A and B are shown apart, each in its own frame.
Chain A
Amino acid sequence: MDFTTSISDTPPPPATRSVSGKAVRPGDRIFLGLSRGSGIILLVVMAAIAAFLTYRSVLAISGDRANFLTTLDWNATGTEPKFGIAVLAFGTVVSSVIAMLIAVPVAVGIALFISHYAPRKLASPLGYVIDLLAAVPSIVYGLWGALFLVPHLGGLYGWLNDYLGWTGILSYGGGAARSLFTVGILLAIMVLPIVTSVSREVFLQVPRMHEEAALALGATRWEVIRMSVLPFGRSGVISASMLGLGRALGETMAVATVLSPNFLIGASLLDPGGGTFAQNIASKFSEADTFGQDALIASGLVLFVITLLVNGAARLIIARRKEYSGANS
C-alpha cells in the first residue's frame, strides 16, 4: 500500500524522442510497441471486466421475477427465480460504516502515536510491524474472527443490551455473536493497518517549521497536533479511510466465516443475520447453477461499481493534495 500513495518529488525523466528526420531504430520500435502494448492490455482487461460483468448481469436481471433492487430474498434457482440486493446493500454499507467508525479514530491515534508520541527508537520498528500486519491474509482474520472473536463478544453484547437495548439498534437476543456488528469490528481490525500506514506517512510530511512555530508560541504537544498536524493531514486521512473503506466493502472471506447470514433487514445490529455482497457470492456459489452464477455476477457488478466510486473519490482527493502540498513545500 505504501508505494501507491508515497509522493515522489523526483521529476519525471525527460521525453527523449528521436530527433526528427532521423530513422527510429527497429529495436526501439519493438520495445516501445511491447511496453505500450502491455499498457493497452491493462486497459483492455479493465474494459473487459466491465463489459462481461454487465453482459452476464443483464442476462440475470432480465430473468429475475422480482425487483432486483428491493427484493428481500435470494432464490436464483428453479423456474421462478426471485432475488434482490436490498439486504446485501444494507449489510455491506452498515458493516463497512461500523468498521470505519471504529477504525478511523483508532488508526489516526496509532498514526499519531508512531509519528509524534512513541519513543524515537520504537517508532520505526512499530511502523514496520504495522506494514507487516497489512499482509496477513484475510482468511486468517476470518478464522480468528469466527473461532476467537465471536465467542468473546457475547459478554460485551449482553452488556450493551442491558444498558442500550432500548434503542432497538443495540438489542441482543443471545446466541452466537455472528452479526453485522461483529463483522464491522473484524473489518475495522483488518483495515486498521492500511489506514494507519497511509495516515502516518502524511503526518510525517507535516513541515517541521509549522510544528516548531507552534511550539515556539508555547503550545502543548496536543495543541501542536491540533493546530498544525491535523489540518495538514486531514485530506490524507480522508483518502486513507476511503482506501480502507474500499477494502472493507469488498472483503469476502472474513465476512463469510463470521456472519451467520439470512435475508431479512433487522433493526438490531447485534443479532445474527444480514449479508454482504461478497459474502453472499462466496456462500451461495457452490449451490448455484449457471443462472444462479449469473445472478451472483449481477450482485458482483453492483459491488464493483460501488468500490470504483469510493476508490475514485479517494484518488481524486490524493491527487488534489499532491498539487497542494507541492505548491506549499
Chain B
Amino acid sequence: MSVATSHRHRKVTEPRTPLALKQSRLPRWALPALAAAALAAGCGTGLAAGLDSTVQWGLIAALLFVAGTFALTAAVEGVRQAKDRLATSVVWIAFLLAVVPLASLLWETVARGSKVLDGYFLSHSMGTLPDAMPGGGVYHAIIGTLEQVGLATLIAAPLGLLTAIYLVEYGRGRLARTVTFFVDVMTGIPSIVAGLFVLSVWILILGFGPSGFAGAMALAILMMPVVVRSTEEMLKLVPNELREASLALGVPKWRTILRIVLPTSLGGITTGVMLAIARITGETAPVLLLVWGAKTINNNPFDGAQQSLPLYVFQQWQQGSDASYDRAWAAALVLIAFVMVLNLVARGIARWKAPKAGR
C-alpha cells in the first residue's frame, strides 16, 4: 500500500525510480528446493526416530515445508506475502490430504477386487458353498439388485416426475410450499430410517415376510425426493416462451406439458433419474432390514429373501475369512463400476442434451 500511495502524485511521464517499485522476491527455485529439503528432513527424522508409520513422515515434512516457506517469505518478501504463501500451502495440503484417502480407496478396491473377479464370479451364486472356501459368485446379488432397483424406480420415478410437474407447472399456494419443504426434508432421511418405516408397516403390522419388494419400497422413499428435485430444476429451465406459444395455439395445458415441456427437458430428467438410481444402488441399510440376503438365486422379488450387491459385500465382510474378503472386494468393485458407469452415462447425457440457449 505504501508503495502505491507514494506514487500517487507522480506524473506518468516522469522516469520512475525502479528501486521504489521493486520488491525483493524469492527466486523461482526456492520453493521446490524447500519442498525437497522438507521431504528429506521428514523422512530423515522419521527414520532416525524410528517412527513406524510413513504417514507421520509425510506430516513432519509438510509441517517443515509450511513453516519454512512462511519464515523464508516473511524474511525476504514481507509478512503479507508470507501469509499469502502460507494460505496457498495450506490449501494445497488440504487438497492432497483429501486426494490420498480417496485415491487409496479406489486403488484398493480395484487391486484387491480384481483378484477373484472373472466370468465365473459374475455368473454363479454362493449356493451351498461354505463361507471360508474360495469360489462362489455374485450372480444372485446382481439379479437381486437389478430387480429391487428396477421396482424402486418404477414406483419412485413416475411419482417424482408428477410431483415435480405439479410444483413447477401448477403449484401455487400452501400445498405446493408444503410439498417443496417436505421434499427437502425427505432428502435428508437416513436410509436406515426409511428401512425401519417399511419394516414397521409392511413386516411388523401387515405381517409380510422379507422380500425384494419390501426393500424396493424403502429404496423408492429414498429415491423420490432426489427425482423431484432434479426434475424440478430441469423443468424450470424450459423457456416460458415455448409454453406460451403452445397455449396461444389453443393446445390444452396437459398436452403442452406432455408434448412441449417434457420432451424439451427429457435429457436433464433422464440424467436426474439415473443419478438417483446410482444413489440407491449403493444403499445397504434398508436392504439389510427388509431383504435379509440369501445365498441362492431367487428370481422372484415378491416372495422370500433375496440378495443385493451392497448387502453381499457386507455379509462377506462379516464372514471374516480371506476367501470371503476377496469376494467382498470383488463385489465392491462390481458395485463401484456399476455406479460409476451410471454416473458417467448420466452426466454424458446431461452434457449432450444441455440447453444450448441461455446463460
Contacts and interface: CB of A to CB of B under 8 A. Distances in A.
A135 B230 contact: no
A140, A152, A251 interface centre (most CB from chain B within 10 Å): A140
Nearest to A294: B204
B81 interface: yes
Given A257-B314, A304-B190, A138 B90 contact: no
Contacts of A311: 184-185, 187-188
A46 interface: yes
Given A253-B284, A293-B199, A109 B95 contact: yes
B285 A252 contact: yes
A148 B329 CA distance: 12
Given A38-B163, A117-B91, A252 B191 contact: yes
Interface string A100-125: 00000111111011000110000000
A143 B1 contact: no
A71 B53 CA distance: 39
Contacts of B128: none
B255 to A, nearest CB: 7
A34 B254 CA distance: 11
A12 interface: yes
B320 to A, nearest CB: 10
Contacts of A220: 80-81, 83-84
Contacts of B194: 49
Interface residues of A, number: 104
Contact of B314 (A156, A246, A253, A312): A253
Contacts of A256: 314
B21 interface: no
A281 B196 CA distance: 9
A225 B87 contact: yes
Interface in B149-193: 158-160, 162-163, 165-172, 175-176, 178-179, 181-193
Interface string B303-318: 0000000100110010
A250 B204 contact: no
Contact of B192 (A27, A139, A192, A278): A278
A192 B98 contact: yes
B205 A38 contact: no
A15 B87 CA distance: 50
Interface string B1-13: 1001000000000
B197 A31 contact: no
Interface stretch (B115-123, B132-140, B233-241): B233-241
Contacts of B278: 135
Contacts of B81: 220
Contact of A31 (B187, B254, B317): B254
B282 interface: yes
B200 A15 contact: no
Nearest to B256: A16
B145 to A, nearest CB: 11
Contacts of B95: 109-110, 113, 118
B254 A37 contact: no
Interface residues of B, number: 110
A109 B94 contact: yes
Contact of A136 (B105, B163, B165, B255): B105
Contacts of A159: 51, 53, 56
A209 interface: no
A251 B211 CA distance: 23
Chain A contact residues: over half helix, strand or loop, or mixed? helix
A16 B182 contact: no
A297 interface: yes
A138 B224 contact: no
Interface in B27-50: none
A296 to B, nearest CB: 7
A16 B240 CA distance: 11
A69 interface: no
Interface stretch (A2-10, A165-173, A259-267, A320-328): A2-10
Nearest to B217: A45
A307 B190 contact: yes
B84 A152 contact: no
Contact of B172 (A15, A52, A225, A243): A15
B183 A42 contact: yes
A166 B84 CA distance: 36
A296 B94 contact: no
Nearest to A159: B56
Interface of B: 1, 4, 51-53, 55-56, 80-81, 83-84, 86-88, 90-95, 97-98, 101-102, 104-105, 108-109, 158-160, 162-163, 165-172, 175-176, 178-179, 181-194, 196-197, 199-201, 204-205, 221, 224-225, 228-230, 233, 236-238, 240, 243, 247, 252-255, 257, 272, 275, 278-279, 281-285, 288-289, 310, 313-314, 317, 325, 328-329, 332, 335-336, 339-340, 343-344, 347
17 contacts: A12-B168, A13-B240, A31-B257, A36-B170, A39-B179, A42-B228, A118-B95, A136-B336, A140-B109, A143-B332, A152-B55, A159-B53, A189-B98, A192-B98, A225-B87, A257-B314, A311-B187
Give the top 7 A-B pairs by smallest Cβ distance, nearest first: A250-B190, A137-B282, A109-B94, A155-B53, A311-B188, A31-B254, A35-B166
Given A16-B247, A27-B252, 11 more contacts: A3-B229, A4-B187, A10-B236, A27-B254, A28-B253, A39-B175, A42-B186, A56-B200, A56-B204, A106-B98, A148-B108
